[in-house]
Structure 1
């Protein structure tokens, strides 16, 4: 599917909170998903200024480019599949956009020639169905930083928010402002 609306809720966790949820949500019996996000941006952060982000996700030997843009119901995600060779070319600065993302970037006034590779963020993910949502626990590493995150994906905002607040409340976890992974990645570069 080239486009989808993503409704998700996020909260950064301490390592202790992560371990508590890991046990409570029975994550040890779910498969480990390893993924690497490779981030792209213009030198003057045009995508960030528009609330958007561009990445290649490498997962299970497959590569997919995704452009995330703000949407009234969450995030609009536009996808193009890439071959391994295309993904490696992107990392070397030879970016050839797929048709869906190319169209979206054109509408934003951004060309592939302006994009540069920012770096990678590696995530060890576990996920499971929970009360008609998908609960995700991520441990992400980028540079010298490791962080822990709870994500909850839902089909409706109201139901997702209810389940998310319940999980936090039941485990005594405070709601925290949680920038998305790409923002945390680029913020870490500025703090070096």
Structure 2
């Protein structure tokens, strides 16, 4: 499956996260384990492409994110959990949509490296302004908090997101992608 992902996000202070959590009381959180993958010489990172296997309780997904002028084109390949665990253990990728797309970008590696795991407890709900996700992520010895809004129109979404932040007295903090935060912290270990 392929779709254009346009998201707006901000890092949150723990107090802001706790306040926003009250708006998600009817939402059951989902635990996601994000295993980031690259070649040993970081070919994906060089091309600003991100790849991960994300596992849930009873299924998994291989995702490739390719930057566009606005947002990322996301290529998702559903996996059963056991197969995903095998791919992670062997540092291999399944044939299909993602490998085909990698080849289009000149990446034909047979060597993959699992960089590590970032765990996210996600509260997600549809709102009048878009799909909103409240995340608490843990990686290495770091815990961070983030609010994401997935929209279909970037310009309208920006205005709606800013208004939502103002209404909830949240100061915008630039939020690099989870992968960027993860890799930066990896280098500091």
The corresponding residue for 2:18 is 19
Q: Give how far 1:144 is off.
A: 0.8
Q: Give how far 1:94 is off.
A: 4.2
Q: Structure 1 CA distance, aligned partners of 2:140 and 2:12?
A: 19
- Aligned residues of 1:40 and 1:116 also touching (Cα < 8 A): yes
Q: Give how far 1:187 is off.
A: 1.0
1:84 aligned residue (58, 81, 101): 81
CA RMSD in angstroms comes to 1.4
Tell me whether 1:75 sits opposite 2:72 in the alignment: yes
Is the partner of 1:10 in helix, strand or coil?
A: strand
Tell me whether 1:49 sits opposite 2:46 in the alignment: yes
- Aligned residues of 2:30 and 2:123 also touching (Cα < 8 A): yes
Q: Give how far 1:6 is off.
A: 0.4
Tell me whether 1:129 sits opposite 2:129 in the alignment: no
Q: Structure 2 CA distance, aligned partners of 1:9 and 1:65?
A: 22
Runs of 4+ residues deviating >4 angstroms: none
Q: Structure 2 CA distance, aligned partners of 1:96 and 1:181?
A: 21
Q: Give how far 1:27 is off.
A: 0.7
The corresponding residue for 1:35 is 32
Q: Give how far 1:126 is off.
A: 0.6
Is the partner of 1:120 in helix, strand or coil?
A: strand
Distance 1:94 1:127, change over 3 A: closer
Per-residue deviation, residues 140-182 of structure 1 (Å, max 9, x unmatched)? 1111110000000112112211211111112232222211111
Q: Give how far 1:115 is off.
A: 1.6
The corresponding residue for 1:151 is 148
Q: What are the ranges of 5 or more consecutive residues in structure 2 without an aligned counterpart?
A: none
Tell me whether 1:116 sits opposite 2:113 in the alignment: yes
Is the partner of 2:110 in helix, strand or coil?
A: helix
TM-score, normalisation: structure 2 = 0.94
Q: What are the ranges of 5 or more consecutive residues in structure 1 without an aligned counterpart?
A: none
Is the partner of 1:111 in helix, strand or coil?
A: coil
- Aligned residues of 2:91 and 2:112 also touching (Cα < 8 A): no
TM-score, normalisation: structure 1 = 0.92
Q: Give how far 1:183 is off.
A: 1.1
Moved more, 14-23 or 146-155: 14-23
